[in-house]
Amino acid sequence: MSVNNAVYVGVWTNWSKGSAIGSTLTLPVRDGSVLIAVLALFIQLAGGQSWSIICFIAHQLRTSRDAKDGLYHQQQAALRNNTSDFGTIWRLSKIGWAWRKQGIKSRRKSLFLVLTGLFHLLAFGAAGAFSSHITTRGNEVLLAPNPSCGFWVDHGTVTNETNLADNIAHGVFSKNSIRSSNQNIKDCLTLNWTATTDAPCPFESRMCLGPENSSLRLDTWFIDSRDDLGINGQDSQRVRYRKSATCSPITTQDYIVTSNVTTSKNVTFTAYAAFYGRNNIISSNAIGAGPINNATYVTSNFQNFEFLYDSIVASPYRIDTEVSYPTLPNYGFTPIPGLLGPGRSITIVFAMFNGLYSGPSDDLWLPAHKPFINVLACTEQHQFCNPSPTFNGSQRCTPLQSIDQYELNGLIESQPGAPPSILDNQFQRAIAKIIRTAAYGSSWYFTITNLESSLLANDLAAQKSSLPLAVNQWVLEAQNWFSIGVANLQRMVVDVATGPPGANARFTKGQADSDAGLKQYCGNQVIQREDFTNFSVLAIWLIFALGGMVIIISLFLEWLRMAYEEVGLGRWSRGAEDVPITERGEEFAMAEEWDEWHPSIRGKFVPTRSVSIHSSGSNTLYGVNSFDSKNRDSLSGIKQNRSSSKINT
C-alpha cells in the first residue's frame, strides 16, 4: 500500500448521488468543526429573524378597526415589540394568565400564539443542534491527483497487500460479505458474494471427489466501479465486473506416482509426483529422471530428516499452487484433458500434512487417512459489463472467461480485426484495465501464494500435531481465499491511484500524462478517511440562501412600507390589511436628499416644512413654517453653518 494518499480539499461532485445532491465540500476535521459552528450560529440568527416575520404577520392578520378588549391590545403590543421567540412566549403567557379571571377566555385566545412560539423555538433549536448532520454519511473523500499514479507490479508489494487483505478479511468480513474499515478501501456499501455447495463438477465427473453436484461455487455477481470500488464517475463512465469460481477436491488415484530416491550420502527418501499436466516453468530435466518427468508438482518426505529445531517451529502443513491460463501456454502448467474447459483459468492447490491429528479428520481435501498429497482444483472466470443501456435497453457484457483472455480480444480494448469494444469511452477502458490488472493480482494463484499463512487449518496446528478439522474444511479454506481475493482486488484498484511507495514512485511518475483515460481516473478515486469531514454543498447553499432571505425580509419588510408612508411618498390605503397599496397610477421617486443633521427620507414633490432653530444660552426655540413644494428651488439657498448656534432657513 502506498502512503501517497493526499486528500483533495475543496468542492467536488460525488456522482453516485447525482450532480446536485452529490456536490460535496471536503474539509479537514478541524476546519469542518468551525464550519459546523458557523452554520449553527447562522441558523439561530435566521431563526430569530424568522420569528420577527411570524410576529409581524400575526400582528397584521389580527389588526382590526373594530373595538377590542385590553387583552387584544396587549397581545398586539407583545407581537409588535417581540424580542425573541422565548421572550414573546413568556410575555404572552403572562398576559393570558393575568386576564384569566376577566371572563374573556384569555387562555384560549393566547394558546395558539404560545403554541406557535413553542413550535418555532423547538424547530430552530433542533435545527441548530442538528446542523452537524449536514455532513455526508460515510466520510468518503476524493484522492488528490498523484503524479505517480499508474501501474506498478512488485512482488514484495503484492505479498504485503495480500497479507493486509488477509488481516482485513479475518477482522472485518462476515461469512459471505466483504466490508473493510481500512482507510484505502471504499466502504460505501457491503460487497456481497454468494457461496453454494451444490454446483456440478467443473471438470470431468470422474475427477471430482464427493457426491454428485457437491462442488463449491463462489460468485461476486456484479461489482460496480463507482458504487463498490469508489471510482467516481457519471453513469455513462461506470463499469461492472464479476468474478465467478468453482472448486472441488479432485482424485489422486492414478495421478500420484511414488518413487524412492537415494542421495549421494546414501540417504533414501520418498518422492511424490503429481501428474495433472506438464509444468511449463520447471524443466523436466530439473525434476528428476525416470517416472517423475513432466510432473505438475513434486515433493518428498525428506522433511522427516530435518533438524529438531525446524521440526518444532515448522507448520505440519505444506501448500503448493500451480496455475494454467488458456492463452499463456508457456506459463504455469498445461492441464490434462480431464481438467480442460473453455474460457477459464485453473488453479491446483497441493496440500501435504506431515504430522498427527488428535482425532478423526474426514475432510475431502485435508483428511487424516489419505495419501501424502491431496489436491484441490478451482476454476476462475471473469466478466465485464457496460451498465449504460443500448438503444433497446439491453446491457452489454463480455462472456465469462479467463482474465488473460481480455488481453487478446477486443471486448475491452478495440483492436484491428477484433469485435468492437463493449465500452464507450476512454475512462471506461481505463477502469476496465485497472480492474483487470487487480483481478490478476487477486486471483487464486497469487492470493494463496502470497499469504504468510495459507490455511485456516494452521490455527489448529502446533509443532507436528493438529486438532481435528471440520468435515467441510476445504469449503472454509476456499471461501477464505475468495474473500481475501476480493479484498485485495479493492486495495489494488486504489493503489493505482496512490502509486507505488517510496523510491519506486519514480517508475510511474508521468505515466498518466500519455493516457487520457488513466489521467481521468487518477483524479477520481474515492477512499475512506476519518480525519476529514464532508458537507453537502446544496445543504450549505440552502441554509445561507433561505436564512439570508429570512434575515433580509425581517429587516426590510415593515420598515420599507412605514418609511415610504411616513415621508408621504404616495397616498397609501389598506394600511391595516395584509398588503397596503397606493392609488391607481400613482408614481413616486426614491429619496434624493439627505439631511446630515437629521437623517430622514425626503421624497420628490412632497410638501415639506422649513425649520428655524434659535439657541440662546441653554434655551432653544423651534419654529416650524410650511412652504409650498412648488418653490423647491428655494432649497438651493439653504446654508448650513456648523460653527454657528443659529441656523436660518
Mean pLDDT across 8-21: 92
| Beta bridge mates, 625 | 610
What is the per-residue burial (b if ≥16 Cβ within 10 Å, else e) of 204-219? Answer: eeebbbeeeebbbbbb
Q: How confident is the model at residue 330 (pLDDT cuts 50, 70, 90)?
A: confident
Give the residue carrying C-alpha cell 427620507.
601
- Which of 194-198, 574-578, 593-597, 642-646 comes out lowest in average pLDDT? 642-646
3-state secondary structure of 405: helix
DSSP 175: T
pLDDT at 632 exceeding the cut of 50 = no
What is the reported pTM? Answer: 0.74
Count CA atoms within 13 Å of residue 101 on its CB side: 1
- Which of 27-31, 186-190, 328-332 comes out lowest in average pLDDT? 186-190
Distance CA(389)–CA(395), nearest Å, equals: 5
pLDDT at 173 exceeding the cut of 50 = no
Pairing relationship of beta strands 581-582 and 194-199 according to DSSP bridges: unpaired
Averaged pLDDT score across all residues of the chain: 76
pLDDT at 620: 40
| Beta bridge mates, 626 | 609
- Which of 324-333, 457-466, 489-498 comes out lowest in average pLDDT? 457-466
Q: How confident is the model at residue 486 (pLDDT cuts 50, 70, 90)?
A: very high
Q: How confident is the model at residue 213 (pLDDT cuts 50, 70, 90)?
A: very high
pLDDT in tens, 362-382: 899 999 887 789 999 999 999
Q: Answer with the residue of higher pLDDT: 210 or 69.
A: 210
Q: How confident is the model at residue 628 (pLDDT cuts 50, 70, 90)?
A: very low
Distance CA(461)–CA(519), nearest Å, equals: 48
The three cell numbers of residue 371 are 495419501
pLDDT in tens, 59-106: 777 777 777 666 667 777 777 777 777 777 777 777 777 766 665 566
User: Going by C-beta distance under 8 Å and a sequence separation of 6 or more, which residues neighbour residue 172?
Assistant: 179, 180, 181
- Give yes or no for a contact between 373 and 251, defined as CB atoms under 8 angstroms apart: no
pLDDT at 138: 60
The fraction of the chain above a pLDDT of 70, given in percent, is 68
Which of 151-160, 309-318, 357-366 has the highest mean predicted lDDT (pLDDT)?
A: 357-366
pLDDT at 543 exceeding the cut of 80 = yes
pLDDT at 408 exceeding the cut of 70 = no
pLDDT at 642 exceeding the cut of 50 = no
Which of 66-70, 161-165, 214-218, 291-295 has the highest mean predicted lDDT (pLDDT)?
A: 214-218
Phi, psi of 430 (to 5 degrees): -65, -40
The three cell numbers of residue 93 are 403567557
